[in-house]
Amino acid sequence: MTPAYGFTATMTALPGRGDDLIALLLTGLDEGSPAASDHCLVYLVSRSATDPDVVQVTEGWTTEADHHRLFAGERAQAMVARIAPLLAGESAYTDLTPVAGKAAF
């Protein structure tokens, strides 16, 4: 299956809270969460090599509609509410159109 929609989110955690933000984002892999959905084909959490409080999430989805439908759900909205207090400011989002690549963990 090839993702038809993707995005990146770059977030800056409050000073010293980057690890907490990453831990929370990784709970997105738990069964029942949007990132664990069969429609989420790529879910990659990364941190800046120079600033441990800058975190980026890259996602690839079967369709944009699948992404929006799942993130409108209660579980995803609860995660967003838990992330907000860890952030130093607004997150930067970039929509993507996947072309090709590889993800193997």
Domain boundaries, the chain: 5-94
Write down the mean pLDDT value for the chain. Answer: 91
- Residues 83 and 99: their CA atoms lie apart, in Å, by 30
In this structure, how many other beta carbons lie within 10 angstroms of the beta carbon of residue 83?
A: 19
Q: Which of 103, 98, 105, 104 is nearest to 3 (CA)?
A: 98
pLDDT of residue 23: 93
Q: Hey, how many other C-beta atoms are within 10 angstroms of the C-beta on 98?
A: 14
Other CB atoms within 10 Å distance of the CB of residue 17: 18
Identify each DSSP E strand in 49-90 by its residue range: 54-61
Q: Which is nearest to 83 in space by CA: 14, 35, 34?
A: 14
| pTM for this prediction | 0.89
The mean pLDDT value for 53-60 works out to 96
- How far, CA to CA in Å, does 68 sit from each of 5, 34, 74? 11, 10, 12
* 5-94 CATH: 3.30.70.100
- pLDDT at residue 71, rounded to an integer: 87
